[in-house]
Amino acid sequence: MADPAAQLPRHIGIIMDGNGRWARRRGLPRSAGHRAGIQAIRRVMEAADAAGVHCLTLYAFSTENWSRPRREVATLMRLFEQTLKAEVDELNRNGVRIRVIGRRAQLSERLQRLVAEAERTTAENRSGVLNVAINYGGRAEIVDGVRRLAEEGRDLTQLEEADLAGALYTAGLPDPDLIIRTAGELRTSNFLIWQAAYAELHVTQTLWPDFGAEDLRLALLDYASRDRRFGGVLDLS
């Protein structure tokens, strides 16, 4: 029988979409959708942990999301601050290491301070990893990685894939095996474009604020049913 652990993704990336639609269907402001989205994050982290998946990357704010109305951007930034403040202690108690990935220089100084503090507090934790992508873009990440290698004086004409992988925000983590996208769109939207080169995609119609343990179970089942070939041939023997 196949090893069940081999059927479990080591790292899941989640494109949390549909907060706005969730709110609109209820006649609520979009901010209510984002708030409900935070409850979904709690549920999913718990369910992932119980299932044995200990590395999650959440796409919370893309480099393109700055073009949203100013008030919505401000609400999201406030939510990031409040949530970081409110959750760090419990995540720390649970042994989860928090990392924020993205171009953080454009975040407010207050948020940058909170991020740095959360990362410092949880740096030695080894039971799980929670990456939160804020002001994140996959292309920007690759550009930043190349710039970093150039700044270190590396000979870029000799660059190997492993060198660049080691210069990305996710250095040291396994690549995501599974990317989940909620709310139905069939796009990866500049999320972990290097790391997810061989990831399986699971798209659900469920809106992010409605996503819960059962949705995660279905995503894991879907993942386990895939035949992962990493570019190899299909052996039908």
Q: Which residues here bind ligand FPP, judged by CB under 6 A?
A: 16-21, 30, 34, 37-38, 41, 58, 60, 65, 76, 79-80, 83, 132, 183, 208
User: 79, 35 in Cβ contact below 8 A?
Assistant: yes
- Residue 31 Cβ, how far from ligand FPP at the closest point, in Å? 10
In whole angstroms, the minimum distance from the beta carbon of 133 to ligand FPP comes to 9
**220 three-class SS:** helix
Give the whole-angstrom CA distance, residue 13 versus residue 56: 6
A 10 A CB-CB count for 67 gives 8
Question: What strands lie across the sheet with 12-15, from one edge to the other?
Answer: 96-101, 128-136, 55-62, 12-15, 178-181, 200-203
Nearer to ligand FPP by C-beta: 169 or 208? 208
Residue with smallest beta-carbon separation from ligand FPP = 20
Residue number, 12 or 167, with CB nearest to ligand FPP: 12
Say if residues 167 and 146 touch (Cβ distance below 8 Å). Answer: yes
Rounded to a whole number of angstroms, the minimum distance from the CB of residue 119 to ligand FPP is 14
Shortest Å, Cβ 219 to ligand FPP: 17
131 forms bridges with which residues in the sheet?
Answer: 57, 99
**Residues classed as catalytic:** 17, 65
Name which of 114 and 167 has its Cβ closer to ligand FPP: 114
Q: How far is the CB of 106 from ligand FPP (least distance, A)?
A: 16
**In the complex with ligand FPP, which residue's Cβ is closer, 41 or 167?**
41
Closest CA to 202 of 58, 11, 14: 14
H helices of the chain, in order, are 19-25, 30-51, 70-93, 109-122, 138-151, 161-165, 213-224
The encoded tokens of residue 137 equal 């873009």
Considering beta carbons, is residue 38 or 101 the nearer one to ligand FPP?
38
